Structure 1
Amino acid sequence: MPFTAGTLLRRWVLWVLLVLLVLSMLSTLVWLAGRYEVSQVQSRSERDAADAVGDIRTALTRNVQSLQALQFADRSAVPWSQDAAGLLREHREWVRLEWRDADLNLLAAVDTPFRAPVFARMGRPARQPEIVQACGVARRQSGPGYGASNYVPLNNGLGLEIMDLCLPVITDGQLTGYTVASYSLQEVLVNMVGPQLTRSQEVSFTEADGTRLAMHGTPRRGSRIFTAKQLLDIPGHAMVLRMDSWRAAPDFFPNVLTALVTAMAIALVTVLTMLARDMRRRQRVELDLADALAFRKAMEDSLVTGLRARDSQGRITYVNPAFCEMVGFEAKELMGHGIPAPYWPPEMVDEYGMRQALRLAGNAPPREGVESVFMRKNGERFAVLIFEAPLINATGQQTGWMSAVLDISEQRRVEEVSRASQERLQATARLATVGEMASLLSHELNQPLAAISSYATGSLNLLQDAALEDAQLAESLGSAIQRIGQQAERAGKVIKSVHDFVRRRDQAREAVTPRALLDDVMPLVILQARKLGVRVDVRCALDLPAVLCDRTMVEQVLLNLSRNAMQAMGDDTPHKVLTLSVRPAASNAVSRWLEFTVADVGAGIPEAVAEKLFTPFFTTKAEGMGLGLSLCRTVVEQHGGFLSHRANQPRGTVFSFTLPQS
């Protein structure tokens, strides 16, 4: 039976019903036993309360008899006060005995010797309502009458609940007075209730609304209260006697039978728990298996790689949807199919059959896979890459082969497209190189062409100066024309150097002394310095070693940095000084480098400009192209050096670069 959510639900419902039935039976049994025990305890409390009320009634009756004996005593022999005092010593529950006339006027009174006079603080009015009530009942019934209890405060800050008993005095059939006895309700509980009842319980008098008037007994010692109430109805007054049993809850197992049934029920619950745990484990395994199957199915269905499984005889036992879509056959058409496979091209059946025989013989395929050609159902051929691995069962035995098939026909097409695109990119790169070379040529030819223009203009001026002598004129013109030729030759060298630079070829490097490099660029530097009013300061020792460099390109770096430095010193610079210096680099002892520096005293380079200073086509000049510093850094780095700049002190900027010694 397949595992479904409905099966799981039915199992859980049955188990829940069984567990609920057992728990209900156990709970009902224990509850009934507990209720029985509680009822037994409550019944004992009710009996104790009834016994206490009976004891109080009996004691009150005996007290009435004692008072009647006091009334009929011979007053000629013993005064009333002496007899009353004797009774008070015998009855601690009385706090006062009074003898009143028919109009309730006090004739004599005696207080108990066991405590201070109760009415000493508040007095004893003759017409106290409780006394009037009790005596009225006594007069009507011609017997004892009780008044309602009242609270009497004492001098020590405490108080007593007092109840008055009034007994009429009849002489010769006529009412001649009353005997009034004042009861302390606290002492009534102490002296009239048996100690066996108060040893483990608390007894108290309460009003109808539950207000406690007096209490006596053992303080609370249990966790549960069992309360019993009995009405103490006496002539003229009624009180409630409350009995509180401070006992622990009844035993959980009141008898052996209940304990035995409970133990059996617990054993049954334990067995059910163990069965439920086993069922949960089985369900967990089933769920894990179902999840694994669902996960594998979803994974196989989502793959674009074809999966094919074959048994030890070469029969197809499994194909995924990607493989079916790849070859154009449905799964039912491929399942169980042996050799030759329907997707083998007819012209390759023999070759594939031999390879299949080797595979079934146990020869492992190469890890990098095997390229083959499959045929779709419509006859179309396509290239595939096959990876095969042994198919191992749960016992560790090989039962066949699992193959992963990749359709690489699209990959082959993409490779062809990529090859064509690469050729087009190379052509585009060559065109970009041509543009770069043109930009660099236009930038670097500005200087020699400007020098040629300057010398040509000077020659024309010399020819037009009639004041010069012929010899001096000839010498000046010769020098100027020689300079024009040198700069024209220099322009050709620049074109060749830039051309080699763009083609990324190794330039012809030679050993040149630093002084020779500076001497070659000084005529152009001095020419521009005169126009701008800049003083040139050259600091180069004659004994410095030669450097290995492309002479023309390094001279262009010196010219470019010198020209930028002179242009950086504006008209507001007080003393324009351009300093060119050469010295051994700081790391000369290790790597043998020389450091060339070009320093100005201009306004310096702002931080925002310094971040983009060497970026191609970035310039702060109105007519600049933004390629000078970028070209300078490229030339220096091609020589293995490093071009940098820093602030000059007290003002200006210092550009420095390094070249290796020869």
Structure 2
Amino acid sequence: MSTPAPASPPRRPVTARAGRLVGRWWRRQSPARQDRYATLGPLVSVLLFLAAIISAFWYLRNEEFEREQESVKRDTEIAQQQIRLRLIENQEQLVRIAREIVTRQIDEEEFQSQAASFTRERPEITNLIWVNQSRSRKASYSTTTLFSELGLPYIDNQRSLPEQRNSEPDQAFRATRELRLPVYSRTFADANGNSVFQVHVPLLDRSAFSGTLIAEYSIDSLVRYFIPAEVSKRHTMTLVDAQGKLVASTLPMTPGETPKPASIVYEVPLAPASNGLVLRGQGYRTSIGLISNTLFWMVSALSVLTVWMLLGTWRHMRRRVQMQATLVSETNFRRAMENSMLTGMRAMDMEGRITYVNPAFCAMTGFSEHELIGRMPPFPHWPPDRYEENMRLLQQELQGRSPAGGIEVKAMRKDGTLFDARMYVSPLIDPKGMQTGWMTSMTNITEAKRVRDQLSASHERFTTVLEGLDAAVSVLSVQQGELLFANRSYRLWFGADAQGHGTLAGGEPGLPMIADMGDSVDSFGGLPTQELTEAGSETREVFVDTLQKWFDVRARYLQWTDGRLAQMLIATDITSRRHAEEQSKQQAEKAQVTSRLMTMGEMASSVAHELNQPLTAITNYCNGMVSRVKSDAIGKDDLVAALEKTAKQADRAAQIIRRIRAFVKRSEPQRQAAEARTIVEDAVDLAGIELRRRNVSLHVYVAQRLPTLMVDPILIEQVILNLLKNSAEAIDMAGLPPARRNIELRVVPKHTPEEGGVIEFGVTDSGPGLKEEVINRLYEAFFSTKVEGLGIGLSLCRSIIESHRGRIRAQNLYNGDLAVGCRFTFTLPVETAKSTGLEAALT
């Protein structure tokens, strides 16, 4: 049976790959270069700090400028709103007076009285003039001279009348006559040289133009009275005409003084005049510039000083590091020469006196350097019973007659233990070419001799053990497809050829068919042999049709005695175990259905009570409708409403029956994609009958955005229902007061090192808890704490959860030494969908 292709590993984040590349680059650098880069860290930090300070100053300066701009804009709009409201209010009053003039409710004398009253409350209006259609003045009132105070008409206001052609009053008069609407004139200078503008309100007598009512505004008064004082204190407000000439300002200035140019300017038109006047708000920056900031220059100076000191420290450290590196490299070179050798080295002069030993020789013999140097034969590492033999070998060595292949001798450690060694001898030559002594290298071969002696014995034992195994063991050469080894069980089942190995391997690389493809195909070209041999064994279950047997096959790659890459298989007959598992599975399914039937049997009375409510409601609705129909006392709408309620109650009863039927229906366990929230809702609906009967409240919390589970929802629902029913029974049997008759069901995601990502279902009650001996035997079959219990509920729950690769636990909740409740939790792995698909593919 073919094995599915392994899933591709998930891609790692870009940051992880970048970090891995940076780490690899850092390890390739030399220690000196790493120190140099590490020294650059403070310098970069100082530069970054200076850049941060400059950025902060720049950001704060810009933020202050933006705040000032917003303040100027806000104040300008407030001033515009105040003036606009005043102009609109005055215009409405002028329209009222014009209407009274046209309807002849007032004459010239009455006009003087109303004009005086009108202008007294409006200091911004200097003149109020009544002009007929021929531009002649019929009546006028002025607040700028003494004549108005004496009640006499003011005669020197000819510049305010529209008699002069192409003047500003004349253009406004003609526009009013054409449009029949109030029109504002452009600014002009009155007889006193003040900047003013007029509003002309038409006098319409039965749609006929009979003149205008002219109100003349003083621009200085508008600015003085209608721009709020708090706005004037904060910013300068000016009125500018269409040519950009300054007309009025809230900032008092002496004659000939040139105003300071503002850094912040915001302009809005003077609505509703629409006569070219613009209200301009001006603001000035209060902060100093970045270049003239003393704090900025202090930070810059300190940063430059720090950089200069870091550079000087860096140069000094480089010189010291170079000198230290030279000394350390020279010392390490000499020390490495001595310590890196596993072979013991011993130098002797021409008389046989020891002049040098390396650390390996001292470690091999157990004697220290000062105990060996200067010693003459017999040496302390010679065994006492071999003095004569070792002396003979020493003389042979001093005479230069030692064999080239070395001499095998017995040596003694300081603690008296013996070991086998092989010695090689070579002469020591000084720079003048004269021999000054002999250098002897000694290797400990005790372990090598022991291994060599044991290999032959272990080979015989190994063969005996493999031949006596009930499992088939075979080794196949990967390149040639040759069967290198097969034990008795393999030969009994598959014969002496390699075809049985290929059947058990299930099409893995290294099967006999590879050898049949010729030399042109090399499936293992470029693959490292070490990685294959170090890989762990793979386990699979294979069915051999010809033998009608199931085998548990373990495969791994190894290097054969001659260096070839080989594949070893160990196949164990598990046919009996498979049959037993199948029978156990069927019995477990029957037990699950039996458990559900028992649960519903216990809930039968509660279910009958639950169904009685919708059925009683249906009977009442039907009887009521029959009575009202017979007495012709029901309308169509009432009949439809009653029928809808009857159908709703019938659907409720049918839903209860469907849920119970689906719960107790015998079916094959079927894993499917299911939502934890749906499973919990179905279980809670079924458990609600029992909980209401026992007067137990239930609090349910299900976390949002839980992953989809690949489970059998009926089985998981059975576990939740069993736990809820047990908790309700424990609370009811303990006779707890209503305040403690509650159960909490929580479903939350969780991650643990042992299980990984899981979804945890927890049922917590406020009952009396469980005894310690009961917790230890809680999941045993046929063990129950209830008098009428069969002891298969929790055992089945554990089997169901473990079949889904989850875990179930129980623990008491304590308040001090007093048990105040019990909590049952079980977990379901979120990878269940993947693992279930893999199991299905393998079976």
Band of TM-score, shorter chain: 0.3 to 0.5
Larger radius of gyration: 1
* Greater length-normalized contact order (CA 8 Å, ≥ 6 residues apart): 1
Normalising by structure 2, we get a TM-score of 0.27
Normalising by structure 1, we get a TM-score of 0.34
